Amino acid sequence: MTRAGIFKKGMQLTLSQDMAYKWNFLITVIATMFKDFIGPLIIILIYTSTSGIPGWSLYEFLLFQGTLTLVFGFGHFAFVQIPAKVISGVRRGTFDKYLLKPVDTLFYLTAIATDWDGLGQVAVGLALIIFAFIKLNLAISLNFWIYVLLILVAFIFQYAIMVLISALTFLIVQSWALLDLFFKISDFARYPSSVYGVGLRFMLTFFFPIAISAYYPSIVLINGFSIKLLLEAVIPVFVFFILSLYVWKLAMRKYTSAGG
Amino acid sequence: MKKFKGLVKNAFKLGLAYRAHFFVSLIGVPLALIIYYYLWGSIFSYSGQSVLNGYTFLELITYYALSMVVGMLTYVDVDAWMGNDIKSGVVVSDFLRPISYIWNLFYVTCGFRSLAFIIEVIPTILIAIFFIKVPVPSILYFVFFLISLIFAFLLNYFLTFCVGLTAFWFKEIYGLRKIKTAIKAFLEGGLIPLTFFPLSFQVVFKFLPFQYMRFVPINFYLQKYTLMEAWPLFLIQLIWIGVFYLIAVFVYKKAFKKFAGAGV
């Protein structure tokens, strides 16, 4: 079977799993979408009763939030089940079955990681982006295509994080705690890096480049870009990505040697 | 009382097994406070006002810290346990216990909350004090806060138990629980004080059970109510507790019959 074939099969499989309880699936999707509308609702409450967040008009902020929802929604849809499968697999001792497959383990895990609930979140993100895009009178210009490109880089960051968490499951602690920790830290991405102090902003760009999730794409779409800005947005993500693949390799080596 | 002690002790041990989680939720406290600090700092300075919708900057950050404390102390996830127990059929063994299902789970929850008090709430309070100059209420209002906190816990417990009971009919209630969590977080005032809503919404909220589980206890601490306003609030809390308790008992009886009838 080709790699694309495996991917397709994996997606079919997860779809039928998610559909096992149809009502629950439907309600879960609605719940996810509802949850993602709460963020914008709070922002509207803030903007109607205060002057808002400095440097961002209401619609600019909604664009920011839509981008964030899209990126995290895609992470939820495509990648979040990777660490989930690893954690429960290692706990139950069923992880070895992934190692027996005749394809690369990480590829196989990615192929079966689709979580269809995430589509609702992606839809909410897209809806918010389109709404804000129209309200802000933006055009499909070069800025827009750079915006799209940065969102793709943000997807890569989502993947890198999930791979890193999966790897750390072998190396540090076998629990959901790491995944929770990531979601806690990712709360920093909920607001533009510009509201934080210089030190924090530096961390969120270079050390844990989560500012790529919404901050960098949005300011490029709204204000335009410079080469320097793009480099500081993109390079840390790729460094992070390579690092996480390396840690995964390390973890795999450790796991197989312990089992053999 | 002995039964109570045993169940609480058991829950305590169970909770310790998940200490990595407690650790993470503890890291989350300063992280969240930092985010709120910067976010609201920028909003306050941009507005140029010292009071927004009834809260000073300091009160608002305290509001969020208290929201975490109230959330930790009143956290109830019996609906998740019930969902699992009912789906797997383990619930049958609970029918056989000498203590009713509703109170059994209640005591276990109390155990978890007392553990949370020691390893989550106390550190959270210390972190909050470290970050900001937390205002301290008068003794009377602190007592009010504690009373409304206990009521909030009871209300939360019975409401969550009712949600859990739906598993007898729906089998898988993960989605329903998710909706409940989202609605609650929003309407309890856990994400933003309810005074930021338009007035007409605030009137409607008075007639819903949600604000009595978080917003009201927090505002007792912040002394936002007069003495005249206090008593009706307690009364409403009690009424909602009664309502959900009765629903829980009634629906549980129905569910028990249905379940027993299915051949178990």
Cβ atoms of A31 and B178 closer than 8 Å? yes
Q: Do B237 and B147 meet the contact criterion of CB atoms below 8 Å apart?
A: no
Would you call A54 helix, strand, or coil by DSSP? coil
Q: Tell me how far apart the alpha carbons of residues B11 and B109 are, in angstroms, rounded to a whole number.
A: 7
Find all residues with CB under 8 Å of A46, minimum gap 6, and list them. Answer: A52, A53, B43, B192, B196
Q: Mind giving me the DSSP string for B125-165?
A: HHHHHHHS------HHHHHHHHHHHHHHHHHHHHHHHHHHH
Query: A27: how many CB neighbours lie within 10 A of its CB?
Result: 21
Task: Note whether A184 contacts B183, CB cutoff 8 Å.
Answer: no
Residues 157 through 196 of chain B touching chain A, CB cutoff 8 Å? 170-176, 178-179, 182-183, 185-186, 191-192, 196
pLDDT score for B171: 75
Is A16's pLDDT higher than 50? yes
Q: What is the C-alpha radius of gyration for chain B, rounded to an integer number of angstroms? A: 20
| Nearest-CB residue to A46 (from B48, B182, B196) | B196
Please compute the mean of the pLDDT values over residues A151-162 and round it to a whole number.
96
Question: What is the number of other CB atoms lying within 10 angstroms of the CB of residue A233?
Answer: 23
CA distance A247 to B57: 43
Which of these, B172, B167, B86, lies nearest to A26 by C-alpha position?
Answer: B172
pLDDT computed for residue A260 by the predictor: 47
Residue B198, token pair as written in the block: 């338009």
Give every residue of chain B whose pLDDT is below 50, as ranges: 264
The number of folded domains in chain A is 1
Give the pair of three-digit tokens for residue B226. Answer: 């007069």
Residue A228 lies in a domain: yes
pLDDT tens for A235-257 read 999 999 999 999 999 988 887 65
Q: For chains A and B, what is the number of CB pairs under 8 angstroms?
A: 109
Contact indicator for B221, B128 with CB cutoff of 8 Å: no
Contact at 8 Å (CB) between B95 and B256?
Answer: yes
A204 within some domain = yes
Strand partners, B55: B52
Q: Which residues contact residue A127 at a Cβ distance below 8 angstroms, ignoring those fewer than 6 apart?
A: A66
What number of other Cβ atoms are within 10 A of residue A260's Cβ?
5
Asked whether residue A54 is assigned to any structural domain, the reply reads yes
CB contact under 8 A, A195 and B39: yes
For residues A61 and B101, give the distance between their C-alpha atoms in angstroms, rounded to a whole number: 47
- pLDDT (0 to 100) of residue B213: 96
DSSP for B1-54, written as a single string = -HHHHHHHHHHHHHHHHTHHHHHHHHHHHHHHHHHHHHHHHHHHHHHT-SEETT
For A250-253, the CB contacts below 8 A with 24+ separation are A250/A167, A250/A171, A251/A166, A251/A167, A251/A168, A251/A169, A251/A170, A251/A171, A252/A105, A252/A170
Residues of B with CB below 8 A from A181's CB?
24, 27-28
* Residue owning tokens 């629950």: A24
Of A92 and A226, the structure prediction assigns the larger pLDDT to A226
What is the reported pLDDT for A102?
Answer: 83
What's the angle, vertex CA A62, arms to CA A57 and CA A67, rounded to 5? 130
- Note whether residue A260 is domain-resident: no
Would you say residue A67 has pLDDT above 60? yes
Placement of tokens 């127990």 in the chain: B85
Residues A100-139: tens digit of each pLDDT: 888 888 888 888 888 888 888 999 999 999 999 999 999 8
pLDDT of A174? 61
Is B198 in a helix, a strand, or coil? Answer: coil
Query: Which pLDDT score, from 0 to 100, does residue A64 have?
Result: 96
Residue A103 counted as domain residue: yes
CA distance linking residue B49 with residue B69, whole number of Å: 28
Cβ atoms A69, A100 nearer than 8 A: no
- Taking contacts as CB-CB distances below 8 angstroms, the residues of chain B near A31 are 175-176, 178-179, 182
Residue A179: pLDDT band (50, 70, 90) is: confident
Question: What would the mean pLDDT of A221-239 be, rounded to a whole number?
Answer: 93
**Residues paired with B56 in a beta bridge:** B51
According to the model, what pLDDT value does residue A151 have? 97
Q: Please answer whether residues A157 and A241 qualify as being in contact, where contact means their C-beta atoms are separated by less than 8 angstroms.
A: yes
At A45 the pLDDT is 94
Which chain A residue is nearest to residue B197, measuring alpha carbons? A45
Residue B102 burial by CB count (10 A; 0-12/13-18/19+): exposed, middle or buried?
Answer: middle
Tokens, residue B205: 């909220």
Amino acid B10: pLDDT: 74
Output B187 or A14, whichever has higher pLDDT. Answer: B187
The closest of A129, A14, A7 to A76, measured between CA atoms, is A14
pLDDT over threshold 70, residue A259: no
HEC readout, B95-126: HCCCCCHHHHHHHHHHHHHHHHHHHHHHHHHH
Q: B178 contacts in A (CB within 8 Å)?
A: 27-28, 31-32, 35
Query: A114: domain range?
Result: 3-254
Cβ contacts of A32 on chain B, cutoff 8 Å: 178
The pLDDT value recorded for residue A33 is: 85
Report yes or no on A135 lying in a domain. yes
Model pLDDT, residue B147: 96
Q: Enumerate the residues of chain A whose CB falls inside 8 A of the CB of residue B28.
A: 180-181, 184
What per-residue confidence (pLDDT) applies to B262?
A: 52
Residue A215 near residue A189, CB atoms below 8 Å: yes
Query: What's the confidence (pLDDT) of residue A144?
Result: 95
A259 within a domain of the structure (yes/no): no
Task: Inform me whether the C-beta atom of residue A23 falls under 8 Å from chain B C-beta atoms.
Answer: yes
DSSP 3-state of B55:
strand
Portion of chain A with pLDDT greater than 90, in percent: 49
Q: Is the model more confident about A67 or about A16?
A: A67
